[in-house]
Amino acid sequence: MIVLKLGGSVITDKDRPETLDGEALERAADAVAAALEGGVEDLVIVHGGGSFGHHNASEHGVTTAEGTRDAGAALDIHGAMTTLNRFVLSRLLERGVEAVPVHPFSAGHRDVEGDLELPTGQVATLLAEGFVPVLHGDLVAHAGAGATVVSGDELVTALARDLEADRIGLCSTVPGVLDDDDAVIDRIAAYEDVADVLGESAATDVTGGMAAKVQALLTLEAEASIFGLEDLEAFLAGDEPGTTIDSS
């Protein structure tokens, strides 16, 4: 099983609120459709927010830790993400991909510690029935805090762990994890390898910066790749483009 994250900044125009990067989204959808036609099975897609969701969340002061108990605010943020999800689904459907939505707001929650609980039975069953489940960064109920943001990266980690993914791909705006000279680092086996480039600690990096991504991916059994849109097809074909993160 492959978990593929399409970065929000890849598929939207980050500078303009609620604007797609239509060309990039179509390119990503083309690559997914081609891979499925070429025999790839069991693909779960997660997309981020980019210019959808983030500005709504910041207008309402909502983060992964700071919640809201205002239903209007919750609907505003969740609604922006479901709007983007519709666009992603429609580009996939147009290409014959059997893509269906799974909205984390209706499925998951955080406990009082902020730890994410995400049931995955529906995702596993959809996969077994031949669908391509498409999840997205969203809000989730958060014990003691109302509703808080769940990022696409957190969903990727939870899905990969629970469904025992074979491969994880993060399609990003950069071609991989970059070193001080902006060259792509080929392989990361331990955080110490990159601590001087990415910073010693990812503790303050809760919203999906590279340090947090790498640290989260290092905790997983499966090999993960971080790559740019130009390498999505290669990743889905089984190559290891960009940076490979493998702690095994």
Amino acid identity, residue 76? Answer: D
For ligand IP8, the closer CB: 81 or 159: 81
Asked if 63 contacts 57 with a C-beta cutoff of 8 angstroms, the reply is: yes
The site map against ligand IP8 for 205-234 (x = CB under 6 A) is ---x--------------------------
Q: Provide the minimum distance between the beta carbon of 96 and ligand IP8 in the complex, in angstroms, as a whole number.
A: 26
10 binds ligand IP8 (CB under 6 A): no
For ligand IP8, the closer CB: 36 or 137: 137
Q: Provide the minimum distance between the beta carbon of 227 and ligand IP8 in the complex, in angstroms, as a whole number.
A: 17
Cα 167–chain centre separation: 14
Q: How far is CA 166 from CA 82, 135, 158, 246, in A?
A: 28, 18, 14, 12
Range 121-180, binding ligand IP8 (CB under 6 A)? 137-139, 149, 151-153
| DSSP calls for 124-173 | HHHHHTT-EEEEE-EEEEETTTEEEEE-HHHHHHHHHHHTT-SEEEEEES
| Contact residue for ligand IP8 among 4, 35, 45, 53 (CB under 6 A) | 53
The H or E element that residue 92 is part of is helix 71-94
Q: Provide the minimum distance between the beta carbon of 238 and ligand IP8 in the complex, in angstroms, as a whole number.
A: 25
Q: Which of 113, 118, 114 is nearest to 103 (CA)?
A: 118
Q: Provide the minimum distance between the beta carbon of 5 and ligand IP8 in the complex, in angstroms, as a whole number.
A: 8
**Could you tell me the end-to-end alpha-carbon distance of the chain, in angstroms, rounded to an integer?**
18
- Written as six digits, the tokens of 119 are 């049931």
Size of the site for ligand IP8 (CB under 6 A): 16
Say how far apart CA 214 and CA 208 lie, in whole Å.
10
Which amino acids are annotated as binding site for substrate, given as ranges? 49-50, 54, 152
Which amino acids are annotated as binding site for ATP, given as ranges? 5-9, 209, 213
User: For binding to ligand IP8 (CB under 6 A), which residues are involved?
Assistant: 8, 48-49, 53-54, 57, 77, 81, 137-139, 149, 151-153, 208
